Amino acid sequence: MTLADDLAAAGFRARAPLAVVVVPSGIALAWEGGSREVAGEPADVGRVLARLDPRWTWWSARTTAAPLVAAGLRLRASWDVGAVGRSLHGLRRDDPAAVWAAAHGLAQPPLLPAGGSDLFDLDAADGEPVRPDGQLSREWLRGAWSADLVSARRWAGCVLEVQRRQESALRDLADPRPCARRPPLAVLTALSESAAALLCVELEEHGLPFDRAVAGALLTTVVGPRPRDAVEEATQRVARDLEVQRQFPGPPVDLRSPLQVRELLLRVGLDLPDTRSWRLEPHAATSPAVGALLAWRKAERTATTYGWAWTDRHVGPDGRLRGQWRAADGASGRMTASAGLHNLPAELRSAVRAEPGSILVRADLGQVEPRVLAAVSGDPELARAAREVDMYAPVAAQLGVDRPTAKVAVLAAMYGQTSGAAGAALRDMDRAYPVAMAYLRAAEQAGRDRRDLRTYGGRLLSLSGAPAADAEPVGEHVAVPGGGGRFARNAVVQGAAAELFKAWAATVRDGLAGLGGEVVLCLHDELLLHVPLDVAEQAELLLADGLQATAHWWAAGSPVRFVAQIARGESWETAH
């Protein structure tokens, strides 16, 4: 009897949650009604399990799925209890101790101290994974579960228990969709959050195709040839500074000091309140000195953040650019990445190039946050505007203003801006779109009152324990900046937009399995695919159809239209 037959006989069914814990000697399993240890090379066991089409369930994709992905497995659906814990309970931490405690309604335990055991580790009875007070044993949290497959199986049972509790709690949440469909949106959000966590593992493993030669030519043009040592690097830096200094009369200043740069600009007759680039750009055409300063800033940023050392550190021998990905940042729930992947300068995008025989296909959600606002608020007038490809045009007609002013009005509404032209624009928004504005104000008031909120998809915005002033994240909850009101006003829109994006990304990822392609970048509202040349058109259709399929269940009952700009090219730069 095969493993598949064995599990089927024991009650496991395809697409049901299958808790997995990986140890060097095999994989431990737990499912509704049974558990098992499977000895063998984990990758080989994983390939057999993949044919059963389970819903892979684990503490974290980062710790459990990573070795399987590295071995070449393409895992389909998952439930990541760490990612779901962040969304369901508003946790800042996603370690097993925090997730277990939240699922059982227990106080959040402190992080394990660095080093060995302490006296409190003695409170677990007879080597049990759960202590008498209901918390997980610190010894198990430190790795006692990995001692053997028997222990790993008990640890898998703990994962499955958390998954059951999470899914039950999610099903109890109200479904916000006007035409609710099953399963509830909060459960679907949990699945897409889990898919995003798995996608992060794949993005880290596979990387972004990057041409070192193209990047080297660009860096040589912008910052100079590769320095031989630190002395030559410092010499190049001084030379770049002098190119700017000679454009201004008087003694040199520190170009990295905004105060000294402001004084420098006074020498050429520019008295500006600050030295931000957007404030300087209008003067570049008439002032060579300002033009030189802006060019220096671009070169300096490239040299210090995306220079030669950056490519050496983050581009592997296989020509792939890699950073560490997170499925949800602390504030908006967006996917984020290290290594500067989310702020790659435009001039370096031409170095992101498809490998021979492949092409890059890019899709960017258009005006996604205003469209999300229309959907989540249920405002019929704003939803009518969101039926158009350019929704700012009908908004402008409704407000009796030009398109740029209409765009300012919508963005000001979502971000809580009330000063200047935005104040008048907001008054017009109140008249034209009262339902959407009431939705935003209710969120803002909840933030001011320190009342917890949930996004449209069910993500908890933990505001009740937030500090009243600007602060860094504290404890296990997400800290709320700026008093909470404006944060909450924007978070209910930006957070929902992030949920829609990740659901779309999960749909596209699933469809790419049959095309031999991969998602190589998730940038805010943009997806970048790397696919074989002969399936480029199919990949474009997948992006468009995947968006419509996602919107069909995500915003069920809403007339809002979601659109994406789709293009392809040999490089990221040309796929625009």
Rg (CA), the chain: 26
pLDDT in tens, 292-314: 999 898 888 888 889 999 999 99
Is residue 218 domain-resident? yes
Q: Residues in the chain with pLDDT < 50?
A: 467-482
Predicted pLDDT at 222: 84
Q: Are residues 243 and 386 in the same domain?
A: no
Predicted pLDDT at 533: 98
| Torsion angle defined by CA atoms of residues 338, 339, 341 and 343, in that order, rounded to the nearest 10 degrees | 100
Q: Are residues 22 and 159 in the same domain?
A: yes
Is residue 206 domain-resident? no
Q: Point out the domain boundary residue: 172, 194, 229.
A: 172
Which of 101, 274, 109, 94 shows the shortest CA–CA distance to 200? 94
Q: Point out the domain boundary residue: 268, 291, 313.
A: 313
Partners of 519 in beta bridges: 529
Q: How far is CA 366 from CA 414, 509, 556, 564, in A?
A: 16, 20, 19, 5
Q: Report d(CA 249, CA 247) in Å as an integer.
A: 7
Q: Token pair of 475, please?
A: 């404890």
Q: Which residue has the tokens 């209901």?
A: 134
Q: Are residues 158 and 26 in the same domain?
A: yes
Q: Which residue has the tokens 């019929």?
A: 380
Q: Which residue has the tokens 């008054």?
A: 427
Contact 519, 526 (CB under 8 A): no
What residues have CB less than 8 Å from 476, skipping those under 6 apart?
91, 92, 93, 98, 108
Q: Where are the alpha helices (DSSP H) in 306-433?
A: 308-314, 368-377, 380-385, 392-399, 403-415, 421-432
Instruction: Give me the amino acid identity at 518.
Output: E
Instruction: Give me the amino acid identity at 514.
Output: G
Q: How many helices (H) and strands (E) are present in the chain, helices listed first?
A: 22, 15
Q: Token pair of 105, please?
A: 């309604």
Is residue 202 domain-resident? no
pTM of the model as a whole: 0.91
Q: Are residues 31 and 126 in the same domain?
A: yes
Q: Are residues 489 and 383 in the same domain?
A: yes
Residue 205 C-beta-side C-alpha neighbours within 13 Å: 21
Classify strands 358-365 and 564-569 as parallel, antiparallel or unpaired: antiparallel
Q: Point out the domain boundary residue: 118, 146, 172.
A: 172
Q: Report d(CA 115, CA 384) in Å as an integer.
A: 59
Which of 26, 5, 166, 23 shows the shortest CA–CA distance to 99? 166
Is residue 526 domain-resident? yes
Q: Report d(CA 416, CA 422) in Å as an integer.
A: 9
Tell me if the bond preceding 183 is cis, omega within 30° of 0: yes
Which of 169, 179, 86 shows the shortest CA–CA distance to 502? 86
Q: Token pair of 222, please?
A: 């912008």
CATH of the domain at 99: 3.30.420
Q: In three state form, how does the secondary structure of 237-295 look?
A: HHHHHHHHHCCCCCCCCCCCCHHHHHHHHHCCCCCCCCCCHHHHHHHCCCCHHHHHHHH
Predicted pLDDT at 2: 81
Q: Report d(CA 356, CA 193) in Å as an integer.
A: 33
Handedness of CA 542, 543, 545, 551 (dihedral sign): positive
Q: Are residues 325 and 394 in the same domain?
A: no
Q: Are residues 380 and 526 in the same domain?
A: no
Q: Are residues 167 and 155 in the same domain?
A: yes
Q: What is the extent of the structural domain holding 377?
A: 372-495
CATH of the domain at 502: 3.30.70.370
Is residue 207 domain-resident? no
CATH of the domain at 217: 1.20.1060
Q: Are residues 552 and 449 in the same domain?
A: no
CATH of the domain at 482: 1.10.150
Q: Are residues 18 and 82 in the same domain?
A: yes
Is residue 74 domain-resident? yes
Q: Report d(CA 308, CA 301) in Å as an integer.
A: 12
Predicted pLDDT at 478: 43
**Secondary structure element (H or E) that encloses residue 363, with its range:** strand 358-365
Total domains in the chain come to 4
Q: Report d(CA 45, CA 47) in Å as an integer.
A: 5
Q: Token pair of 216, please?
A: 């080297």
DSSP class of residue 558?
-
Contact 255, 296 (CB under 8 A): yes
Q: How far is CA 569 from CA 201, 318, 418, in A?
A: 25, 21, 41
Which of 158, 145, 112 shows the shortest CA–CA distance to 22? 145
Q: Report d(CA 335, CA 347) in Å as an integer.
A: 23
Predicted pLDDT at 112: 86
Predicted pLDDT at 321: 97
Q: Which residue has the tokens 């420098």?
A: 264
* 3-class SS of residue 529: strand
Q: Report d(CA 9, CA 512) in Å as an integer.
A: 32
Is residue 150 domain-resident? yes
Q: Report d(CA 528, CA 538) in Å as an integer.
A: 14
Strand order of the β-sheet with 34-39 is: 34-39, 26-31, 17-23, 55-58, 77-80
Q: Report d(CA 504, CA 564) in Å as an integer.
A: 11
Q: Other CB atoms closer than 10 Å to residue 245's CB: what's the count?
A: 19
Q: Are residues 487 and 506 in the same domain?
A: no
Is residue 178 domain-resident? no
Q: Are residues 281 and 228 in the same domain?
A: yes
Instruction: Give me the amino acid identity at 121.
Output: D
Burial class (CB in 10 A: 0-12, 13-18, 19+), 254: exposed
DSSP class of residue 528?
E
Q: Other CB atoms closer than 10 Å to residue 27's CB: what's the count?
A: 28
